[in-house]
């Protein structure tokens, strides 16, 4: 089973679908071949909470009203795209 992040819709200020994953470096958390989870620094975005598969995009960048940023992916690319469509 994977991790699950729930961000209430009313807290989402912006969301973007990223076709290319920015360079990320781990601050604290897990980094494996198919899972990056925890606090990361993302080039061009600053600090983010990540829960993603770095090998399979696209990825979602979600920014909350208080400025927190999340870099996420679902279990596969089709599910990530479906979440993006629901947020649009």
Confidence tier at 5 by pLDDT (50, 70, 90): confident
Q: Is 41 exposed, middle or buried (0-12, 13-18, 19+ CB in 10 A)?
A: middle
Q: pTM higher than 0.75, yes or no?
A: yes
> Residue 58's CB: how many other CB atoms inside 10 A?
16
Which residue in 64, 35, 33, 82 sits closest to 48, CA to CA?
A: 64
Q: What is the pLDDT of residue 2?
A: 58
Q: Which of 9-13, 14-18, 40-44, 84-88 has the lowest mean pLDDT?
A: 84-88
Q: What is the pLDDT of residue 75?
A: 85
Answer yes or no: is pLDDT of 65 > 90.
yes
């Amino acid at each position: 089973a994977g991790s699950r992040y729930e961000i209430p819709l009313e807290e989402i200020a912006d969301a973007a679908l990223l076709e290319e994953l920015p360079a990320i470096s781990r601050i604290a958390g897990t980094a494996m071949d198919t899972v990056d989870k925890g606090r990361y620094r993302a080039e061009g975005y600053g600090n983010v909470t990540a829960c993603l598969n770095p090998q399979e995009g696209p990825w979602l960048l979600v920014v909350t009203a208080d400025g927190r940023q999340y870099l996420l992916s679902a279990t596969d690319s089709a599910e990530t795209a479906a979440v993006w469509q629901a947020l649009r």
